Chains A and B, each alone.
Chain A
């Protein structure tokens, strides 16, 4: 029976090793929930300080699922009572996280445009194959919005089978089969936005960033769609250092051509690779 114990030990060790290899964890500095460094929160009291300040992100494989955990600076509330929405929401109201995944890390392979409403692209070497939507909206609403607004990008959209609040974190569970397999050297682009239940016709449930903040609109950006509607962004090396604030600000730095604002180039976002 001794050989059996050794085989069992070896098998468990291999499994643990595989799980560790498939698990990734990153930190993000606090206080950088200002996009390119100028964005401010909407003025309504529900947008509590730190609500969009990403502080951590991890992916862990559990059985046949991948569990995405996104941590924020403050406790996640539900000021708009998402459980009473039709269809019912997921127990929070404000945050909307889009996790873009570059599965092959090949330049030009995959999509470069972010989903409508983000006003950004990914760098050629970080084109994405999948995007996981961690939203307070129920599956039915998400499916409808994606079908209507995402165009060709909808083939890469993944809606988690469950999203729940855990203190300051959002925990989304995604079947590995929806991702096309287990994580292996994938790159991640984690974008923090705000859930907008009444979005503009072209925006996929995202809240706008304007020049001047409104009750329910971020400020510090542009009234044109040349500014990235990204409030916080996970950047390399993902250790939460102060240098990452500067890296984020530079990554999201945009230019609006006053003569042709709609023709201004969109910012190109980098991904983070473990």
Chain B
């Protein structure tokens, strides 16, 4: 008995050692940026892996970034674009997933396949047509343009995830409602929507990350006049001050922090949503 216990302990230690080892690989580069963003220029080059000490601690990078670039505004733009797109993806996606999963109608499979093409094909290949349309609609250099494109981009995967998830909801629930003569719209809003909440985190992570991090469409559709997203703002800033590592590292830290915080908030729900049968 003690033998077995010890073996279990040894195994457990090995498991933790392996996990800690890879966690270090995953987080070390990020930590490196955060650490060095708070050091003086000579210390960044002198000993990059050292933590800032009172003598090397220096926030000059942050000061320069905040002076030279409107990161608060860029951050606001990113928040607006990301949350509005996410909301639209969730609402429109849930409606479509519900229609495709719940009702049998002619062409059901065809529409489902059609909606799935977008998972496989990058929308970027159609950039010029998108730009022409956006110009035609007078939406160039607006956040609305980005929101529309991102909504289209996020829908296919959202429909897939939400569809799989809805399939798990017991049939009795909606049938009971139908027997009571409740309308289809009401079944959707009152019965189904509350039940898919756990899947929202999953969709959110898979939708938000590409939107938040996208460089391409902000560059093409909304690159000026204070409409930059934070990723574009950071890229433009890096391009402009590329040799000023204090400022660049500070800019990177400012771009990293919000998404990491959002993620930590969401991460518990992410796995719950997945394990309740979303993507299989």
Partners in one complex: no
Binding site for B on A (CB under 8 A): none
Binding site for A on B (CB under 8 A): none
